[in-house]
Amino acid sequence: MNPKIKICGLKQPDNIREVIALQPDYIGLIFYPGSRRFIDQLDADWVMGLHGTKKTGIFVDAAIHEVKTAIQRYGFQAVQLHGAEAPAYCATLADCGVEIIKAFGINERFDWTIVRGYETIVDYFLFDTQSTQHGGTGKRFDWTLLAGYTGNTPFFLSGGIGAENIADALRLDDSRLYALDLNSRFETAPGVKDIALLRNTLQTINDE
Q: Are 175 and 2 in contact (CB under 8 A)?
A: no
pTM, 2 dp: 0.94
Tens digit of pLDDT per residue, the chain (208 long)? Answer: 689 999 999 999 999 999 999 999 999 999 999 999 999 889 999 999 999 999 999 999 999 999 999 999 999 999 999 999 999 999 999 899 999 999 999 999 999 999 999 999 999 999 999 876 655 566 789 999 999 999 999 999 998 899 989 989 998 989 999 999 999 899 999 999 999 999 999 988 877 6
DSSP code string of 97-118: SSEEEEEEEE-TT--GGGGGGG
Name the amino acid, one letter, at 169.
A
Burial of 95-120, coded b for 16+ CB within 10 Å and e otherwise, reads eeebbbbbbbbbeeebeeeebeebee
Chosen CATH of 4-207 out of 3.40.50.300, 3.40.190.10, 1.10.3720.10, 3.20.20.70: 3.20.20.70
Domains in the chain: boundaries = 4-207
